[in-house]
Structure 1
Amino acid sequence: MMSARLERLVEIALRDVLDPEMGRSVVDLGLIYAIAAAPDGAVTITMTTTTRGCPLAGFLREAVAAAAGAISGVTSVAVTLTYEPAWEPAMIAAE
């Protein structure tokens, strides 16, 4: 129960992380594939970028980790970048 609540809070926080090129949040763009919170508050986030080798990958990964880490109850954050499945514009949330 607590883990699900923490995952939801992290998702809400990640809505404030904007992709500088697209001007939309990483959540709305569909870049966040998974958020998992362990009972001890350790959070694991799996995400992607719009293109493999994206020059902003490091920035986005750090911004996502910082936003998640700022949530009360989060004890650690691990952000993993993946390109499977590859991101596509169809993953963008409708306005």
Structure 2
Amino acid sequence: MTATPDIETLRKALKRVADPEIGTNIVDLGLIYRLEYANGQLEIDITMTSPACPMGDLIIDDIHAELERLLPADIEVKLTVVWDPPWQPSMMSPECRGRLGWQDAG
């Protein structure tokens, strides 16, 4: 039986998932709002940089693929796309803001 990875391990794995339009990972972009084990499943709340994001389905598929590599088969993933609060550049990590030229985003 595969051990259940801790949240930090999962967060690191999600850094391998990029928003293809921006070329930056979804963790540093600030798209992961919640990542926790609850009720016998992994619950994830994510957002997109825009409700009209054309890459949303691809990002979601990539998240599932990355997590399937790590999680035991008995752990269900409940992924919810949320729009509140709306994503803003200030949600990016400082390093990400710097790479993308958003130094003044606060």
- If the length of structure 1 is used for normalisation, what is the TM-score? 0.85
Amino acid at match of 2:68: G
* 8 A contact 1:6–1:37 mirrored in 2: no
What is the rounded CA distance, in whole Å, between the counterparts of 1:70 and 1:39 in structure 2?
21
1:39: how far off? 7.4
2:33 partner SS: strand
Q: Which moved more, 1:11-20 or 1:57-66?
A: 57-66
What is the rounded CA distance, in whole Å, between the counterparts of 1:62 and 1:7 in structure 2?
19
CA RMSD of aligned residues (A): 2.0
What is the rounded CA distance, in whole Å, between the counterparts of 2:44 and 2:13 in structure 1?
13
Match of 2:62 in 1: 63
Larger radius of gyration between Structure 1 and Structure 2 = 2
Q: Which runs of 4+ in 1 moved over 6 A?
A: none
Alignment of 1:6 onto 2:6 = yes
- If the length of structure 2 is used for normalisation, what is the TM-score? 0.77
Structure 1 residue runs without a partner (length 5+) = none
Match of 1:54 in 2: 53
Alignment of 1:19 onto 2:19 = yes
Structure 2 residue runs without a partner (length 5+) = 96-106
